[in-house]
Amino acid sequence: MYSAGQTKSLQQLGTAFLKKDAKHPITVKEIKELRDVLRFHEYRYYILNDPLISDFEYDQLFKALEKLEEEHPKLITPDSPTQRVSKGLTKEFPAAPHLVPMLSLENSYNDQDLVDWDRRARELAKLDTIEYCVEPKFDGASISLIYENDLLSRGATRGDGVSGDEITTNIKQIRSVPLSARFSDHGIQTIEIRGEVLMTKNNFKKYNDQLAEQNLPPLANPRNAAAGSLRIKDPKEVSRRNLEAFLYNISYHTTLPGKKEDRQLQTHSGCLEMLWELGFRSPVKEKKVLKGIDAVIKYCHQFESMRDDLPYEIDGMVIKVNDVDIQDRLGMTTHHPRWAIAYKFKARQGTSKLRAVEFQVGRTGSITPVAKIDPVPIGGVTVGSISLFNEDVIREKDLKIGDTVLVERAGDVIPYIVKPLAELRTGKEKKIVFPTHCPVCGDKLVKPVDEAVWRCNNINCEAQVVERIIHFTSKDAMDIRGFGDANVRKFFELGFLKDIPGIYTLPFDKIRSLEGFGEKSITNLQGAIETSKQQPLHRLIFALGIRYAGETTAKVLAHAVKHLLEFQDLSLEDLQNLEDVGPKVAGSIHQFFHNWDNIKMLKRLEELGLKLKNDKKDLVAGGNLVGQTFLFTGTLPTLKRSDAEALVESNGGKLLGSVSSKLNYLVVGEDAGSKLEKAKKIPSVKIISEAEFMQMVNR
């Protein structure tokens, strides 16, 4: 897409723009160049996964463009990077008839199926061998995009294959979909391309974590997450979901008057390459052109073994006849093309018997039904317990004790029950009865009007107390290693531990005499408990388990005060003025800090040596990172890139746009690319992890 020369000059142009200030602003004459620079950096980020500038720098350039366009609205073009952003809500998704029906693919499940399919294709095409292009079968939601005269004019869902829903505004929120592409360079006037929208495993997990923070049931798998996201009527929310799109098929095109059809369009692999060169994320790196079915089968197996290492879900491979003329000769049935077939990987599903449903009490009193099934191996893991989240899930799925159930486990996603196999019922299945009273303390359960979850409201319910202590010690909270669920439960049962402050006054003389506690494990546990006293304030806030206050909110809260007990004096309104704190979250925080038992507990923790003060608040002028330069690369395990960058700045550090000898620290995450390679060659650059970076910030 960009030659080495273009890359260099666009990068330099961007750096020059970034150096401009109020005195020497970017001028309106440079508006086109500014857009080119932004598009270039979007491409580096979203298509190549290898950004050359920081998010912060990108935002600066974006804001400069917004400002220029605000001053000169006539100069706005429909494909300007600013035009993805959409204000307001979508009213409806009008019908979008496809230019060519969106067929599905024939499925094959084993090697023999492929051998048979290849034989039939060769017979029909009267050929000895056929050249195939093999690529992943992306497990997402299919879309169609139309570009007319180089501009994205329509995005649509598959619908029933003949007509889908027009979702152009939502498609524009997917940053790897170009708003314009130079199809005209290839003689193309109108083109319809097909592809798949998906959510990476990483983003899916983050999204589910956010749902969990709000006590909402998680989405079952990335496929449902992608499909659901495309139908959201708030484009801003769609943007937040960080969807990606792979484009893999040109289904229709017209040629510009006087132009001949581009030769690249004569093969499927050529089409994929053309799309890639035009700035689309097509599977060029993943695809392989192979002669004969044996090589195809080998490649399918090879890919299946890497399935779990990919950043996104695939459920098989797609094998396509590479030559478009031969494709035309083979044609299609009413359902699927004869020139392509899907090779489905082994399903990560299994069936088992639902034996019982247990009701667990969570740390906030929520009652979660958990299905106990006969253990069944799925994708290498034995599954015996499956959360059912809430009563509605049981009702919607119409589950009964004794049912044979279909269980799915996609990659590292938690297992879930897809459905009961109603055909296999004997009539002896029993209804699942939801308890009316807490299975642990016996209090009457209540269900708030706007919630799907039943609750035990007795905050002294033993189950809740234990769960709160477990949460407090857990990895993402105070991270007291070696404590673990089992020890919390054991110490609680023995009366050694009654509440959270009790963690810091454990009777080690008594624990020493327990079976399984050697001197070494005691020393380690004592050490871990002691170290946890130094955890930063946001971890302590998260550890308290305040409803709706997840890790992100905890960071916002920690930032807002110099001392935790200041929250006693904040009104609901003050709280709602904090970033991302809505009425529900504010209400919960307010309630927590107006409960005398909680305040007493916090005071006790402070006496025991825990940090309730926000050290950083006193240091803003100085900051822990003063005089140091930073750059981030790859996906960080916990922090959002923009949050990490904000941390650098709020702590007095400086962000750099590229690796050079001026750089002090390169913070690397997953899938770090060329920046890491470059940094390794400069001895003065220190390469550190997010955890090491956080230690510097919190020091």
Catalytic residues: 137
144 belongs to the binding site for ligand IVH (CB under 6 A): no
Shortest Cβ 248–ligand IVH spacing (Å): 4
Residue among 288 and 616 whose Cβ is closer to ligand IVH: 288
Tokens linked to 568: 């006693």
Cα→Cα distances 110→290, 437, 478, Å: 18, 51, 49
Residue among 6 and 302 whose Cβ is closer to ligand IVH: 302
d(Cα 407, Cα 299) in Å, to the nearest integer?
29
Shortest Cβ 306–ligand IVH spacing (Å): 16
Cα→Cα distances 262→271, 279, 289, 615, Å: 10, 17, 20, 64
- What residues contact 185, with CB distance under 8 A and at least 6 apart? none
549 belongs to the binding site for ligand IVH (CB under 6 A): no
Residue 45 identity: Y
Residue among 191 and 340 whose Cβ is closer to ligand IVH: 340
Q: Which stretch binds ligand IVH (CB under 6 A): 101-109, 434-442, 516-524, 684-692?
A: 101-109
Shortest Cβ 104–ligand IVH spacing (Å): 4
Residue among 244 and 690 whose Cβ is closer to ligand IVH: 244
192 belongs to the binding site for ligand IVH (CB under 6 A): no
Interaction residues for ligand IVH, span 507-546 (CB under 6 A): none
Q: What residues pair up with 632 in beta bridges, in sequence order? A: 667
Interface residue with ligand IVH among 46, 58, 248, 632 (CB under 6 A) is 248
Interface residue with ligand IVH among 181, 318, 361, 575 (CB under 6 A) is 318
Shortest Cβ 315–ligand IVH spacing (Å): 8
- What residues contact 379, with CB distance under 8 A and at least 6 apart? 346, 348, 409, 411
Residue 606 identity: E
- 280 and 128 Cβ atoms separated by less than 8 Å: no
Shortest Cβ 365–ligand IVH spacing (Å): 43
Shortest Cβ 559–ligand IVH spacing (Å): 43
137 belongs to the binding site for ligand IVH (CB under 6 A): yes
d(Cα 291, Cα 131) in Å, to the nearest integer?
4
Q: Which stretch binds ligand IVH (CB under 6 A): 97-105, 271-279, 378-386, 681-689?
A: 97-105
- 370 and 387 Cβ atoms separated by less than 8 Å: yes
Query: Is 405 in a helix, a strand, or coil?
Result: strand
Query: Is 56 in a helix, a strand, or coil?
Result: helix
Query: Is 300 in a helix, a strand, or coil?
Result: helix
Residue 631 identity: L
196 belongs to the binding site for ligand IVH (CB under 6 A): yes
Instruction: Residue 222: count other Cβ atoms within 10 Å of its Cβ.
Output: 25
How many residues of this chain interact with ligand IVH, rule: CB under 6 A? 15
Residue among 337 and 350 whose Cβ is closer to ligand IVH: 337
Got the DSSP string for 606-617? HHTT---B-HHH
249 belongs to the binding site for ligand IVH (CB under 6 A): yes
Q: Which stretch binds ligand IVH (CB under 6 A): 132-140, 204-212, 449-457, 634-642?
A: 132-140
Residue among 318 and 668 whose Cβ is closer to ligand IVH: 318
Q: Which stretch binds ligand IVH (CB under 6 A): 126-134, 204-212, 335-343, 548-556?
A: 335-343
The closest alpha carbon to 408, from 533, 497, 286, 315, belongs to 315
Output phi, psi for 166, to 5 deg.
Answer: -80, 120
- What residues contact 314, with CB distance under 8 A and at least 6 apart? 136, 137, 138, 139, 303, 307, 345
Q: Which stretch binds ligand IVH (CB under 6 A): 38-46, 209-217, 262-270, 336-344?
A: 336-344
477 belongs to the binding site for ligand IVH (CB under 6 A): no
CA dihedral over 277, 282, 288, 291, signed as positive or negative:
negative
Q: Which stretch binds ligand IVH (CB under 6 A): 30-38, 100-108, 528-536, 588-596?
A: 100-108
Residue among 106 and 499 whose Cβ is closer to ligand IVH: 106
Interface residue with ligand IVH among 138, 303, 472, 567 (CB under 6 A) is 138
Shortest Cβ 178–ligand IVH spacing (Å): 19
Q: Which stretch binds ligand IVH (CB under 6 A): 131-139, 303-311, 423-431, 653-661?
A: 131-139
Site string for ligand IVH, 373-412 (x = CB under 6 A): ----------------------------------------
- 155 and 166 Cβ atoms separated by less than 8 Å: yes
Q: Where in 240-301 does DSSP place strands (E)?
A: 244-255, 288-291
Interface residue with ligand IVH among 142, 157, 221, 474 (CB under 6 A) is 142
d(Cα 441, Cα 464) in Å, to the nearest integer?
10
Helices assigned H by DSSP within 166-230: 168-171, 201-213, 222-230
Query: Is 137 in a helix, a strand, or coil?
Result: strand
Shortest Cβ 282–ligand IVH spacing (Å): 9
Interface residue with ligand IVH among 13, 48, 103, 578 (CB under 6 A) is 103
Residue among 139 and 166 whose Cβ is closer to ligand IVH: 139
Interface residue with ligand IVH among 51, 222, 270, 337 (CB under 6 A) is 337
104 belongs to the binding site for ligand IVH (CB under 6 A): yes
Shortest Cβ 346–ligand IVH spacing (Å): 17
Q: Which element (helix H / strand E) includes 152?
A: strand 151-157
Tokens linked to 377: 């191996």
The closest alpha carbon to 504, from 482, 485, 483, 530, belongs to 530
- 533 and 609 Cβ atoms separated by less than 8 Å: yes
Q: Which stretch binds ligand IVH (CB under 6 A): 103-111, 405-413, 597-605, 672-680?
A: 103-111
Binding site for ligand IVH (CB under 6 A): 103-105, 135, 137-138, 142, 194, 196, 248-249, 318, 337, 340, 342
